[in-house]
A and B are shown apart, each in its own frame.
Chain A
Amino acid sequence: MNDKREIAKTLYKTMGLTDAALNDPDIAHLVINGNMVVGAHLVPGLVVEPHETQNGVTVAMKVLAGSIIQKPVHLCFGMLPEDGLQEIIMDVTIEEHAKVSILAHCTFPNAKNITHKMQANILIKEGAYYSYLERHVHAPGGLITVVPHAIVTVEKNATFKTDFELLRGKAGIIDINYETTCHEASLLEMNAKVNGIDDDDITIRETGHLKGQGAVGVLTTRIAVRDNAKATVYNTLTAHAAFARGHVDCKEIIQDNGVAKAIPIVEVYHPKAHVTHEAAIGSVDDKQLQTLMARGLDEEEAVDLIIQGLLS
């Protein structure tokens, strides 16, 4: 047990965090190293059932109807070894009028050749609220492949917010694919921020289907690619009902030999629905750059600060 506790603390340390959350009885947590559950704590209203598999874990998570989980639930998926495969299968149900926020840390600090896959099925029932912030910390080198896929259903008056952040270390191969179906008066917000360097290869597919009347969806992507990194972003919003509203916003900064593509797709199937999109790809804005240089920052310092802002 003590070994597991030490592994959990080590994983937290790699994220730049203390283990305070692991000691707080009001904060639920689940910590996975490879295919091993090294820490778990629940709070009332939250049901989590992890099962270890050959290459990872399956996690069934449920927030019971009407339960408001006050403090963000900490999930930590990590691998301390240099090589290996981690497969996470998540089945999440947020019952009617329940509310929970998840702070998910994915840490692979020593990676030389690691693959992290996640397949999630998420059901957010009527009036419920689910936010999921997924923050990655990778090793500065090595090969990491990250493949998070999710199928999400957002029922009437429910909310789904997700943020994916990969700003520290080498991104590696990223293949994000989230597809969300939104019913009446529901709200969808999907944000992704990735910093690509070296030969990173980043693919983001975010799709929202606004099926219900008054459903609202916003897809926002911010990416910086430097060196020989590549990024391709497919943002798709479809609107099928009256008063459905959507917006797609993608900004990508390229430096050096970086390559970026944005493919925003908006489809509207109802005359009273409205979806907009904006995409901007290019080098750092010249006026921003020269403004900072006129304050004495050299070009590299200025570019770093602008990218830091874009990805903040």
Chain B
Amino acid sequence: MTILKLENVSLSLDEKPILNNLSVDFWEGHIHAIVGPNGAGKSTFSYVVMGLSGYKNITGTIYFKGKSINNLTVYERARLGISLGWQEPARFEGLTVAQYLKASKKDNGMSIEEAMGVVGLQPQEYLQRACDKTLSGGERKRIELASLLVMQPELVLLDEPDSGIDVEALERIFDAINILKERGSTVITITHSMAVLKKAEHAFLMCHGSIIDKGSIDKISGYFENKCIPCGHKNIPVLGEVQQ
């Protein structure tokens, strides 16, 4: 069953097209990965679905559980069950980790302590720390995932969930993604990482603001690794070479 559907969605920023007549469906309860080169529009896709300011002026329609969410604000989309984990999460001067997680907490989400355990951070060590620049990038990233675990949204958008994460902590990130799925969330990861891609059940290849291919992980990862990464066209898809 489709939980999220984008139909002919386009967005330009400063007159530069970023999303280009994008149409794609995502299935409820599954883990999806969107891969593509830098500048393909992957992060923009997640911002558009979340409805962030500066990313609302789209053409086309975004459907969540069959209803258009085009006119909804960020928090209205969040209350419907959509949330986003940023590639570089915001730092909050003066707020503790506990306060940030408490603000994210919803009834059906994990307890704060349990979520901290999943992402490998000791609650007694971290909850009273400031959620600011004194945290390392990896620590802040794991707290971002914990905030999604305590929220348990129906649809989780994860922008580069592995960036800034060391190898040891990467398994914790994968654990968190699996737990989100087991507890009923649909997950869409935005990634360059083959490791993250291979944890997904469905893969999408994005180039120049469009989904140019989709399918099994093996198919998309093979194409991405062998063609996209060395591609010299820089977001100008060679359409004859894909979807074969």
- Contact stretch, chosen from A123-131, A177-185, A295-303: A295-303
Residues of A within 8 A of B151 (CB): 295-296
Instruction: Pick from B53, B77, B90, B94: contact of A291, CB below 8 A.
Output: B90
- Contact stretch, chosen from B11-19, B98-106, B192-200: B98-106
Complex contact A295–B147 (CB within 8 A): yes
In the complex, chain A residues 278-312 whose Cβ is within 8 Å of any chain B Cβ: 285-288, 290-299, 302, 305-306, 308-312
Q: Is B60 an interface residue (CB 8 A)?
A: no
- Contact stretch, chosen from B28-36, B79-87, B224-232: B79-87
For chain A, the bracket of interface size reads: 20 to 34
In the assembled complex, the Cα of A72 lies from the Cα of B84 at a distance in Å of 45
Complex contact B74–A293 (CB within 8 A): yes
Which residue, A251, A293, A302, has most C-beta atoms of chain B within 10 A?
A293
Residues of B within 8 A of A291 (CB): 86, 89-90
Which residue, A287, A310, A311, has most C-beta atoms of chain B within 10 A?
A287
B144 to chain A, nearest CB (A): 9
A288 to chain B, nearest CB (A): 5
Residues of B within 8 A of A293 (CB): 73-75, 78
Instruction: Pick from B52, B73, B83, B93: contact of A295, CB below 8 A.
Output: B83
Name which residue of chain A comes closest to B74, CB basis: A293
Residues of A within 8 A of B78 (CB): 293-296
Complex contact B103–A305 (CB within 8 A): yes
In the assembled complex, the Cα of A288 lies from the Cα of B103 at a distance in Å of 12
Complex contact B53–A290 (CB within 8 A): yes
In the assembled complex, the Cα of A87 lies from the Cα of B53 at a distance in Å of 50
With contact pairs A309-B99, A312-B95 given, residues A296 and B90 touching in the complex (Cβ less than 8 Å): no
Complex contact A290–B99 (CB within 8 A): no
Which residue, A296, A302, A305, A311, has most C-beta atoms of chain B within 10 A?
A296
Complex contact B53–A309 (CB within 8 A): no
In the complex, chain B residues 37-89 whose Cβ is within 8 Å of any chain A Cβ: 50, 52-53, 73-75, 77-79, 83-84, 86, 89
Chain B residue total in the interface (Cβ 8 A): 25
Complex contact B92–A306 (CB within 8 A): yes
Instruction: Pick from B50, B75, B89: contact of A297, CB below 8 A.
Output: B75
In the assembled complex, the Cα of A306 lies from the Cα of B86 at a distance in Å of 18
Which residue, B50, B78, B84, has most C-beta atoms of chain A within 10 A?
B78
In the assembled complex, the Cα of A123 lies from the Cα of B67 at a distance in Å of 69
In the assembled complex, the Cα of A294 lies from the Cα of B159 at a distance in Å of 14
Residues of B within 8 A of A312 (CB): 94-95
Complex contact B93–A251 (CB within 8 A): yes
A59 to chain B, nearest CB (A): 33
Which residue, B75, B95, B104, has most C-beta atoms of chain A within 10 A?
B75
Complex contact A294–B84 (CB within 8 A): yes
Complex contact A288–B92 (CB within 8 A): yes
Complex contact A296–B75 (CB within 8 A): yes
Complex contact B84–A309 (CB within 8 A): no
Residues of A within 8 A of B75 (CB): 293-294, 296-299, 302
In the assembled complex, the Cα of A306 lies from the Cα of B104 at a distance in Å of 14
Complex contact B50–A294 (CB within 8 A): yes
Name which residue of chain A comes closest to B104, CB basis: A295
Residues of A within 8 A of B91 (CB): 288
Residues of B within 8 A of A310 (CB): 93-94
A283 to chain B, nearest CB (A): 12
0/1 string, B157-183, CB within 8 A of A gives 1: 000000000000000000000000000
Name which residue of chain B comes closest to A311, CB basis: B94
Name which residue of chain B comes closest to A305, CB basis: B103
In the assembled complex, the Cα of A308 lies from the Cα of B92 at a distance in Å of 10
In the assembled complex, the Cα of A286 lies from the Cα of B53 at a distance in Å of 9
Residues of B within 8 A of A295 (CB): 78, 83, 103-104, 147, 151
Instruction: Pick from B52, B79, B92: contact of A290, CB below 8 A.
Output: B52
A280 to chain B, nearest CB (A): 10
Complex contact A309–B92 (CB within 8 A): yes
Complex contact A290–B95 (CB within 8 A): no
Which residue, B73, B77, B84, B94, has most C-beta atoms of chain A within 10 A?
B94
B106 to chain A, nearest CB (A): 7
Residues of A within 8 A of B83 (CB): 294-296
In the assembled complex, the Cα of A213 lies from the Cα of B155 at a distance in Å of 59
In the complex, chain A residues 43-63 whose Cβ is within 8 Å of any chain B Cβ: none
Which residue, A291, A298, A309, has most C-beta atoms of chain B within 10 A?
A291
Name which residue of chain B comes closest to A298, CB basis: B75
| With A293-B73, A294-B83, A296-B78 already in contact, 12 other A-B pairs whose C-beta atoms are closer than 8 Å | A222-B94, A291-B89, A293-B74, A294-B50, A294-B78, A295-B83, A295-B103, A295-B151, A299-B73, A302-B75, A305-B99, A312-B95
Q: List 7 A-B contacts (CB under 8 A).
A: A287-B90, A293-B75, A294-B74, A295-B104, A297-B75, A306-B95, A310-B94
In the A-B complex, the 4 residue pairs with the closest CB atoms: A309-B94, A309-B95, A312-B94, A293-B74
